[in-house]
Amino acid sequence: MKKKPTEKKQTGLLNAYIESAGVVEKEPITKMLEKNYMPYAMSVILSRALPQIDGFKPSHRKLLYTMYNMGLLKGKLTKSANIVGATMKLNPHGDSAIYETMVRLSRGYEALLHPYVESKGNFGKFYSRDMAYAASRYTEAKLSLICEDIFDDIDKDSVEFVPNYDNTLKEPSLLPVKFPSILVNSNVGIAVSMASSICPFNLVEVCKTAIKIIKNEKFKILDVLKGPDFPGGGFLIKDDEAFLKIYKTGRGSFKIRSKYNIDKENGCIDITQIPYTTTVEAIIDKIISLIKQNKIKEISDIRDETDLNGLKITIDLKRGANAKSLMTKLFKYTPLEDSYACNFNILVDGTPKVMGVKEILVNWQQFRQECVKRRTKYELQKKEKKLHLIEGLNKILLDIDRAIKIIRKTERDDEVIKNLMEGFSIDEVQAEYVAQIRLRHLNKQYILDRVKEKEDLIKEIEKLNKILKSEKEINKIICSELEQTIKKYGKPRNTMFLYSVEEEEETKEEENKSFYVNLFVTRAGYLKKITAQSLRLSHEQKLKEKDKICLQGEVLNDVDVLFFTDKGRMYRVNLKEIKENKASSLGEYMPAYFKFDDDEKIVKVIYTKDYEGNLLFFYKNGKVSKVSFSSYKTNRKKLLTAFSKDFELVSLFLEKEERNYMMRSNNEKAIVVSSSLAEVKSKKDSKGVSFLRLNKGCVLKSVSLVEEKDLKNLKKFVVEKIPSSGKVVSTQLSLNEG
């Protein structure tokens, strides 16, 4: 049976498809990115992450407009789940994303100076990562009163409407806000290759600044807009240069500091306001970490006492602790003082642009001018239409009996309009309006009212035309609306200014005060830091069985203690980081502190303040390496290569001047040699130079420091040229070994 032509064609296409399966076509990466990634990037930038000049991201705008359409501006609270479901007609990103957006805009969450959503139920708190909001089925919401100034003109064609994602509804491209909400409430977004971070400012200051700029573009903004204002309060460290940079460029940063009270009676500090950029849990975690690291010793307890009255972190102080000094330390090392980085990146006419405050307000003014023009045109058209109808009515009312006669004599209903148009020389719209008048309105009072209304309409139309022709008149309206906004919603600043931080210098001096402590290090690796007072009370040292003290001394509390191990490594710790011990305790176990390898052992411990002098490394092969001690000065806790790993280290000495050393081999040969014979090496892992020439199978056994008084007795071992085989040791020598 023969195949039909269509079947042959389909079979051929299928075979061609199968043959090409798995074949990867080469395509330049630039074209691939342009085709696949660029549309996504543009969508994120334009339709998701960055706010527009009205102060809203698309997700905010869709949510608020849905609530407005639901009648929630003046209506009662409704379940949040209802709002979320209705918003999905405009926002296709899922219910959880919509609800999170509503939470951030709510009064209960406390993240905005002027919340757009009134809330009932648990909406969480912006200053706590653990206080989660309740599900949408449990909470209720409606629009806040301030939304009246956001939606007031939206039904008067003041902004453009665009189709929603499935082309079934219309939504506003922008909201006709009567005040610069873009600067009043904070807005943060991360797009592709760009981001936006707009700090909030006080509504009164923003509106006054906008009025001043409208009236005088050369106005100095800092005179009125003193600085950002955060809903969480706190203190803003006054820095006019930083503020001016932000106002001019839209980029920069400033510092926010927590507010606290010292409770002397209970011996504690209550922190009641924290920076907008952090959370209660982050602060507590950081303070606990500092206590564990022994960087802060004044705190006995810290807890979160946040309740219905608001945020509160309580810090209990140890007896005699200086509260102000402690707070300065905490400001330095914890998020109790934090920086806010500004990046005023805003979408203007579909283009992202970083602008300063003045440029933002000028752009907002232009946007608002367009809103007022559109609203005025809408009202003008409405009044002109009404005037047109009344003019037709006036013609009829001059001879009402004739109009009634025309209507009565007309036989067909559809001819009434036509006959009225011919009888009074009016158009169809006017005739339709006249025909709809009730019989009860055909009296003298009604006629007089209509005539008077015509006069009022003419005046209003003249006024509206004047507004449209004059930018000055439009600016007057904008300024008037801003003044009304100040009266209705203006509030005092939450964030106060801190003009001086002099106490920091005092605390620095206090922190840098050095005092002496007693240092003990054992062979097993235990370190004790004991004050003189504690040592007087109990001087008997507790040690592990078979353990011995290998290093002890009275040192400053801020010296560096260096641990050299048999792995060729060096570990460093500043003594300030080690908590104080008692003689009756074992102390800090340093192998665990530094996380040594299981088989790693300490070979030498050195403490220093200035890193002066040289280190002498004596290796088992009879070589000696001299390295400048200053090359070990580092902020790192661990040096993986502190000396050569090629041969086993026998001894290590720190010398600040050249000394003499006796080197003894396991075949009882020895030399006494000066360290001056070794050159200082730049590399820490230098293999050194040969000092003691060893026979086959022999190794360096020990190294001892030789004092000047002992040199006469050891004269026969002294060598001036290296390497040397040395001489046999015939007597038992007792010298200081490294």
Q: How far apart are CA 452 and CA 74, in angstroms?
A: 34
For strands 78-79 and 140-143, give the pairing. Answer: antiparallel
Query: Rounded distance, CA 736 to CA 418, Å?
Result: 129
- At 289-309, the pLDDT tens digits run 998 887 888 899 999 999 988
Note whether 345 and 50 are within 8 A (CB): yes
- Under the banding of pLDDT at 50, 70 and 90, the label for residue 51 is very high
Tokens 């280190």 sit on residue: 615
pLDDT at residue 532 is higher than 90: no
| Cα 443 versus chain centre, distance | 72
Q: Which of 419-433, 449-463, 496-510 has the lowest mean pLDDT?
A: 496-510
The two structure tokens encoding residue 453: 């209304």
Taking only the tens place, the pLDDT of each residue in 100-145 is 999 999 999 999 999 999 999 999 999 999 999 999 999 999 999 9
pTM exceeds 0.85 for this model: no
Query: What is d(CA 695, CA 667) in angstroms, rounded to the nearest whole number?
Result: 9
Give the pLDDT score at 511: 52
Residue 128's Cβ-count burial label (10 Å; 0-12, 13-18, 19+) is: middle
- Cβ-proximal residues to 219 (8 Å cutoff; 6+ apart), any chain: 209, 212, 213
Q: Which of 4-13, 262-271, 687-696 has the lowest mean pLDDT?
A: 4-13
Q: What is residue 737's predicted lDDT score, i.e. its pLDDT? A: 56
Share of the chain above pLDDT 90, in %: 56
Give 299's strand partners: 317
- Which tokens sit at 583? 């003689």
Rounded to 10°, the helix 95-105/58-69 angle is: 90
Better-scored residue on pLDDT, 671 or 506: 671
Q: List Cα–Cα distances, 378 to 147, 173, 385, 464, 469, in angstroms.
A: 22, 18, 11, 10, 15
Q: What whole-number distance in Å separates Cα of residue 313 and Cα of residue 269?
A: 8
- As given in the structure block, the two tokens for residue 5 are 């032509």
Assess whether pLDDT exceeds 70 at residue 248: yes
Confidence tier at 68 by pLDDT (50, 70, 90): very high
**Residue 659 DSSP SS3:** coil
**Token pair in block for residue 370:** 């367009």
* Cα dihedral 690/696/702/708 (nearest 10): -50
Please tell me which residue in 37, 40, 138, 516 is annotated as part of the active site: 138
pLDDT in tens, 541-597: 888 888 888 888 888 888 999 999 999 999 999 988 888 888 888 889 999 999 899
φ, ψ dihedrals at 665, nearest 5°: -95, 170
- On whether the CB atoms of residues 544 and 586 are closer than 8 A, the answer is yes
384: amino acid identity, one letter: E
Per DSSP, the three-state class of 350 is coil
Res 8: pLDDT: 55
Span 685-734, pLDDT tens digits = 888 899 998 888 899 999 999 888 888 888 888 888 888 888 888 755 55
DSSP 309: T
| Structural domains of the chain ordered from first start | 56-173 (3.90.199.10), 259-335 (3.30.1360.40), 361-489 (1.10.268.10), 515-737 (2.120.10.90)
Per-residue pLDDT at 506: 45
Does residue 246 or residue 401 have the better pLDDT?
A: 246
Asked if residues 549 and 543 have their Cβ atoms less than 8 Å apart, the reply is yes
pLDDT at 738: 54
User: If you average pLDDT over every residue of the chain, what do you get?
Assistant: 88
d(CA 529, CA 553): 10
Averaged pLDDT for residues 365-377:
96
Cα 133 to Cα 100: distance, rounded to the nearest angstrom? 9
How large is the average pLDDT for residues 209-228? Answer: 92
Q: How many CB atoms lie within 10 A of CB 311?
A: 21
Q: Tokens representing 434?
A: 């006249």
Q: Indicate if the pLDDT at residue 500 is higher than 70.
A: no
pLDDT for 46 equals: 84
Q: What are the CA-CA distances from residue 731 to residues 451, 622, 734, 737 (Å)?
A: 137, 22, 10, 17
Residue for token pair 């939304």: 147
Q: Rounded distance, CA 72 to CA 59, Å?
A: 18
Predicted confidence at residue 394, as pLDDT, reads 79
Angle at 178 (CA atoms; ends 172, 184), nearest 5 degrees = 100
Q: What is the DSSP string of 569-622?
A: -EEEEEGGGSPP--TTS--EEHHHHHT--TT--EEEEEEESS--SEEEEEETTS
Which residues lie closer than 8 Å to 4 by C-beta, 6 or more apart? none
What number is the average pLDDT over the span 494-508?
68
Report the pLDDT averaged over residues 464-471: 94
* 593 belongs to the catalytic site: no
R_g of the chain computed on alpha carbons: 42
Tell me how crowded residue 679 is: count the other CB atoms within 10 A of its CB.
10
88-97, 534-543, 556-565: lowest mean pLDDT where?
Answer: 534-543
Angle at 673 between CA 668 and CA 678, to 5 degrees: 125
pLDDT of residue 505: 47
